[in-house]
């Protein structure tokens, strides 16, 4: 009896505490439409036991029922989801909403306070020194790395030409890991030839951790997560990842010091012939407030570059092949454009100028990212109570912005579910698109700093693959692919492809 009384009393006191703490939030939240919730757990009851692909189905149902901007409670956490263009423009168009949502905290063990997560003056200063790293003169030096990685991909794909179907994503992921690692640190992890290496396994583990911690209720909260096997695996993986990056930083810093001591003068385009002016080299030469970056500062940004440029690009490339395989006329146009620019020599190295001339291929990439944005949900945190288009949003609320649903809004993109690359052709479409309608790289002050890098990398991979193979999509018996809207957009089941040798006429 005493236990029952205690539990009831505790529940009443706890609810009273929550109400007093969230009274203002509860009051303001009434202005937003949203699904019914349960005490304490909120809307989480609808997500427990659901598979990741079902989350997107639930969100689509909520959009149909409650409109483009609605609320859901996850425990005491108020979340507002929007795919309304007017709201998106306000949220991304200013620095008022630069703070990332709470979900991004799951990345801190790996990325610390790198550019993706940092805020305030730290974010501003880091952004300022990193921006020059993506100047076209620097990007041009990465082309050789892109060509090397994609050529190895082609070599590996030859072994699959006799297969009726295979999972292309696995090969693409290892290719992008090789490319981003050499671009970031100037060293190769040889992911495409050594898939069992500690580093490659550690990257896979961390990717799993981030997905589960953000979207699996059981792993979401620290109290339940830190007792799991996955938490122990994360700790081991972080030791490997941080150790590898720190080792490279120390080695490269020592090399630069030795060069200075020997008074070796090098031109800017000759900094480390094998390294091709890696992202790491630029950070080692940078200063903030007159002081060089510490090893930890550099590790944060190198790891962030590794994270942001790995899975995102893999997703984009795989979905691009999916689209042009389903639309053979688009694939043929891409191939004809590649032949016009590169000729019929399959092994001719790609160049910066060549890649910039791949106009139709770029239209296909843009259309792919509209339909399948690599990051399907962007998160912001409201630090101060504010007004967004007449709606008062309480401090502490998380706001989720959906590039996936925004990109499929019929009013903005007619025939939104069809693959129509020409809709991005500025020559034939004179009407200027609202810059916040198409946000696969986000938009505004906090847009993706590496989007030009990503576009060049994707073009390099596509060029080398299409010069060698004709790609066919092998339809699944389960019908259309089911999308999984986790941290990175995926499909529930692998997208399966078949390759044919490319025949030149």
The 10s digit of each residue's pLDDT in 83-108 is 999 999 999 998 888 888 888 888 99
Mean of pLDDT over the chain:
89
CA–CA separation, 495 and 317 (whole Å): 12
CB atoms within 10 A of CB 10: 10
At 92 the pLDDT is 95
- Check residues 262 and 60 and name the one with the higher pLDDT: 60
Token representation of residue 116: 């993706």
CA–CA separation, 226 and 230 (whole Å): 8
CATH number of 83-501: 1.10.630.10
Token representation of residue 180: 């981003």
CA–CA separation, 383 and 174 (whole Å): 39
Token representation of residue 388: 């967004």
Q: Are 457 and 143 in contact (CB under 8 A)?
A: no
42 beta partners: 38, 74
pLDDT tens-digit series, residues 413-439: 999 999 999 999 987 775 778 999 999
CA–CA separation, 470 and 465 (whole Å): 8
Which of 56, 102, 100, 107 shows the shortest CA–CA distance to 210? 107
Is the per-residue pLDDT at 61 higher than 60? Answer: yes
CA–CA separation, 404 and 62 (whole Å): 15
Q: Once rounded to an integer, what is the mean pLDDT over residues 54-64?
A: 93
Q: Once rounded to an integer, what is the mean pLDDT over residues 479-485?
A: 89
Token representation of residue 291: 């002081």
Is the per-residue pLDDT at 331 higher than 80? Answer: yes
- With a pLDDT cut of 70, the percent of the chain lying above it is 93
Instruction: Say how many residues make up the chain.
Output: 505
Is the per-residue pLDDT at 272 higher than 60? Answer: no
**Predicted TM-score (pTM) of this structure:** 0.91
CA–CA separation, 491 and 324 (whole Å): 17
At 174 the pLDDT is 94
- Check residues 208 and 149 and name the one with the higher pLDDT: 149
At 3 the pLDDT is 64
Beta strands of 198-351 (E only): which ranges?
287-288, 291-292
Which of 353, 354, 373, 377 shows the shortest CA–CA distance to 365? 373
Token representation of residue 319: 């979905």
At 160 the pLDDT is 94
pLDDT tens-digit series, residues 6-37: 667 666 676 666 666 678 888 888 999 999 98
Q: Once rounded to an integer, what is the mean pLDDT over residues 395-411?
A: 94
Token representation of residue 293: 């970056």
DSSP string, 204-219: HHHHHHHHHHHH-HHH
Token representation of residue 126: 């880091």
At 238 the pLDDT is 96
Per-range mean pLDDT, top range of 156-165, 222-231, 312-321? 312-321
Q: Once rounded to an integer, what is the mean pLDDT over residues 284-307?
A: 92
Which residue's structure tokens are 């969230």? 22
pLDDT tens-digit series, residues 213-268: 877 777 877 888 888 999 999 999 999 999 999 999 999 998 888 877 776 554 44
CA distances from 80 to 70, 71, 419, 439 (A): 6, 4, 30, 18
Is the per-residue pLDDT at 270 higher than 60? Answer: no
At 275 the pLDDT is 45
- Check residues 78 and 273 and name the one with the higher pLDDT: 78
Give the dihedral of Cα atoms 195, 198, 203, 207; nearest 10 deg. Answer: 90
Give the dihedral of Cα atoms 305, 306, 307, 309; nearest 10 deg. Answer: 70
């Amino acid at each position: 009896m005493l236990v029952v009384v205690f539990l009831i009393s505790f529940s009443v006191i706890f609810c009273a505490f929550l109400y007093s703490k969230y009274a203002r939030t509860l009051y303001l939240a009434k202005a937003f439409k949203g699904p019914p919730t349960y005490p304490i757990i909120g809307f989480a009851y609808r997500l427990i036991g659901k598979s990741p692909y079902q989350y997107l189905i639930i969100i689509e149902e909520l959009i149909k029922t409650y409109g483009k901007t609605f609320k859901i409670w996850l425990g005491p956490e108020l979340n507002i989801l929007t795919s309304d263009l007017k709201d998106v423009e306000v949220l991304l168009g200013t620095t008022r909403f630069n703070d990332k949502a709470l979900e991004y905290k799951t990345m801190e063990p790996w990325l610390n306070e790198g550019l993706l997560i940092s805020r305030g003056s730290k974010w501003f200063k880091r952004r300022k020194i990193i921006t020059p790293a993506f100047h076209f003169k620097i990007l041009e030096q990465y082309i050789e790395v892109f060509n090397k990685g994609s050529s190895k991909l082609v070599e590996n794909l030859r072994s699959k030409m006799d297969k009726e179907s295979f999972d292309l994503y696995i090969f693409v992921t290892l290719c992008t890991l090789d490319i981003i690692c050499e671009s970031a640190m100037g060293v190769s992890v040889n992911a495409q030839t050594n898939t069992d290496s500690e580093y490659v396994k550690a990257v896979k583990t961390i990717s799993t951790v981030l997905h589960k911690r953000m979207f699996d209720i059981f792993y979401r909260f620290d109290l339940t997560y830190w007792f799991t096997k996955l938490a122990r695996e994360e700790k081991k993986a972080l030791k490997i990842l941080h150790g590898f990056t720190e080792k490279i930083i120390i080695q490269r810093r020592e090399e630069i010091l030795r060069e200075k001591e020997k008074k070796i003068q090098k031109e800017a385009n000759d900094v480390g012939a094998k390294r091709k002016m890696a992202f790491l080299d630029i950070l080692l030469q940078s200063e903030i407030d007159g002081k060089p970056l510490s090893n930890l500062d550099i590790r944060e940004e190198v790891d962030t570059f590794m994270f942001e440029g790995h899975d995102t690009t893999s997703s984009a490339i795989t979905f691009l092949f999916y689209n042009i395989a389903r639309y053979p006329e688009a694939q043929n146009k891409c191939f004809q454009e590649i032949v016009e620019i590169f000729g019929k020599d399959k092994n001719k190295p790609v160049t910066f100028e060549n890649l910039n001339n791949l106009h139709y291929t770029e239209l296909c990439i843009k259309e792919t990212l509209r339909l399948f944005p690599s990051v399907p949900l962007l998160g912001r945190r409201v630090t101060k109570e504010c007004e967004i288009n007449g709606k008062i949003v309480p401090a502490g609320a998380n706001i989720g912005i959906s590039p996936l649903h925004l990109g499929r809004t019929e009013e903005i993109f007619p025939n939104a579910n069809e693959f129509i690359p020409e809709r991005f052709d500025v020559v034939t479409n004179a009407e200027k698109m609202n810059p916040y309608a198409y946000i696969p790289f986000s938009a505004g002050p906090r847009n993706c700093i590496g989007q030009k890098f990503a576009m060049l990398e994707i073009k390099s991979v596509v060029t080398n693959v299409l010069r060698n193979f004709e790609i066919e999509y092998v339809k699944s018996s389960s019908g259309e692919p089911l999308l999984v809207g986790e941290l990175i957009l995926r499909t529930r089941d692998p997208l399966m492809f078949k390759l044919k040798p490319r025949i030149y006429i």
